[in-house]
Amino acid sequence: MKAAKFKYVAPRSLEEALGHLGSDPDAKVLSGGQSLMPLLAMRLAAPSVLVDLQHVPGLNAIEDIDNAVRIGARVTHRAVEHSELVARRVPILSLAARHIAHPQIRSRGTFGGSTAHADPSGEWPTVLLAVGATMHLQGAAGRRDVHADDFFVGPFTSSMEPAEILTQVSVPATWDRWSFQEAAVKAGDYGLALVAAVASVENDTITDARVSVGAAVGSVTRLREVEQLLIGAAPDLNTAERAARVATDSVKPISDIHGSSDYRRNLVGSLVKRAIVELKNGA
């Protein structure tokens, strides 16, 4: 199980990296490599050039900015997991990080790499969609920002152009309540279903909410019917149960050897219920 041939380059600047991507349509960014390397080993991916971002400056910071935490693309899952700033301002990321594979993967895998990979089973895509994060992209022509709603467009597909690089992600810190739920058979397995939920709550009433589902679906998806139900409701057990029913009815799950769509449909309902119960508790 050995990768096919490719070329490798480790540029020292973003401009240089963009140059490599721009000059070869089959060039691909290498960040932590934890998702890419198995695909290379199994020869399911065959890029011509890997552009390693490890020496590109400016991609390694976790910063507190207005109403958001901005996380550099090269920040590892482990760094997110252990960041005091993240735990304080956007705790859903700390919760989700612990579900990402294993410590040996989290030490190498990066926030930006997983986000750009847009794996429907990925913790970051699910969470970033729920919180309504903004992806900061750099292309040869300049920077652009893409909201999560417009970023994750399909399984393993984002709205990034081939010659663009994800540089940072801004995670809004404005939500009052956060919950992340994952059902995985064993620690570190790909989840059978992931649910991320965030809400703003005033006077025991949900004023705004976003809920997303991953793994059980073809690509990470917002559960808009659930969100509509939540807004204006009290974050209580009754709401949670109603939300679970709506989620069960509205989600469009996949089937595979690890679980049928019926199983996943019910599982999503259960996780939505757990998530809303947790929102009630103010996690």
Partner 1 sequence: MKTVEKHQHMDTPEIAARSVGARVLRSEDPRLLSGRGQFIADIELPGQLHVAFVRSPVAHARITHIDLSAVRDAEGVHLAWSGADAAQFCEGLVGEFAVEGCNPTTMPLLATDEVLYVGEPIAVVVAETRYAAEDACELLDWDFEELPAVVNADAAAAGVGVANPQLPDNFGLRGGASFGDVAGAFEQAHQIVEGRFYTCRVSAAPMETRGVIADYEWASKSLRVWSNTQMPHFLRYMLTAYLGFPEQNVEVITPDTGGGFGQKAHVYPEEMLLPLLAREVDRPVKWIEDRRENLMAGAHAHEQYVDIAYALDATGKITAVRTHALGDGGAYHAPPWSMAVEPWCAVVMTPTGLYDAPAAEYTYAAVATNKTPVGAYRGVGYMAGTFARECLADEAARATGMSPFEFRRHNVVPEFPWTNPQGIVYDEGSWRESIDVLESMVDYPAFLQRQAELRAQGRYIGLGLSFFVESSGESTAGSQEHGLGDVYHDTATVRLSPNGTAHVTIGLSAQGQGLATTMAQMAADTLGVRVEDVIVETARSTSHAYGSGTIGSRGAVIAGGAVSRAAGVVREKIRAVAANLLEAAVDDVDLVDGNASVKGAPDTSISIAEVATAIYFDMSSWPEDFDPVLEATQAYDTARAMFSNGAHAMVVELDPETGFVRFEKVFSVEDCGTVINPNIVEGQIRGGVVQGIGASVFEELAYDESGQLLTTTFLDYGIPTMDVSPPFEIHHIETPSKHSASGVKGMGESGLIAAPAAVLNAVNDALTPFGVVLRELPLSPEKIRAAMSGATESAAPQVVAP
Partner 2 sequence: MSATPQERLEVSISINGRRYKAPVEARKTLADFIREDAHLTGTKLGCEHGVCGSCTVLIDDAPARSCLTLAAQADGHRVRTVESLTEGQELNGLQRAFREQHGLQCGFCTAGFLMTATALLEENPTPTRDDIVETVSGSLCRCTGYQTIIAAIEQAAAEGAADTQKHDEQEGDVL
Residues forming the site for partner 1 (CB under 8 A) = 1-5, 38, 42-43, 183, 185-190, 192, 257-260, 263, 266-267, 270
Question: What's the CA gap between 97 and 109, in Å, rounded?
Answer: 11
Which of partner 1, partner 2, none has residue 263 at its interface (CB below 5 to 8 Å by kind)? partner 1
> Phi/psi class of residue 104: alpha, beta or left (left: φ > 0; alpha: ψ in -120 to 50)?
alpha
Do 54 and 10 contact (CB within 8 A), yes or no?
yes
Sheet with 68-72, edge to edge strand ranges: 62-65, 68-72, 165-172, 134-139, 142-147
Of 3-11, 59-67, 198-206, 257-265, the segment contacting partner 2 by CB under 8 A is 3-11
**Binding flag, residue 52, partner 2 (CB under 8 A):** yes
Identify which of residues 98 and 245 has a Cβ nearer to partner 2 in the complex: 98
CA nearest neighbour of 268 among 195, 204, 178, 196: 195
**Binding flag, residue 105, partner 2 (CB under 8 A):** yes
Of 138-146, 185-193, 218-226, 270-278, the segment contacting partner 2 by CB under 8 A is 185-193
Identify which of residues 119 and 227 has a Cβ nearer to partner 1 in the complex: 119
Parallel, antiparallel or unpaired: strands 152-154 and 27-30: unpaired
Identify which of residues 6 and 263 has a Cβ nearer to partner 2 in the complex: 6
Do 138 and 160 contact (CB within 8 A), yes or no?
no
Which of partner 2, partner 1, none has residue 40 at its interface (CB below 5 to 8 Å by kind)? partner 2
Closest distance between partner 2 and the C-beta of residue 76, in Å?
8
Identify which of residues 24 and 176 has a Cβ nearer to partner 2 in the complex: 24
Identify which of residues 9 and 234 has a Cβ nearer to partner 2 in the complex: 9
**Binding flag, residue 49, partner 2 (CB under 8 A):** yes
Tokens of 209: 């909410």
Residue owning tokens 């399911």: 44
Q: Phi first, then psi: give them for residue 270, nearest 5 degrees.
A: -65, -40
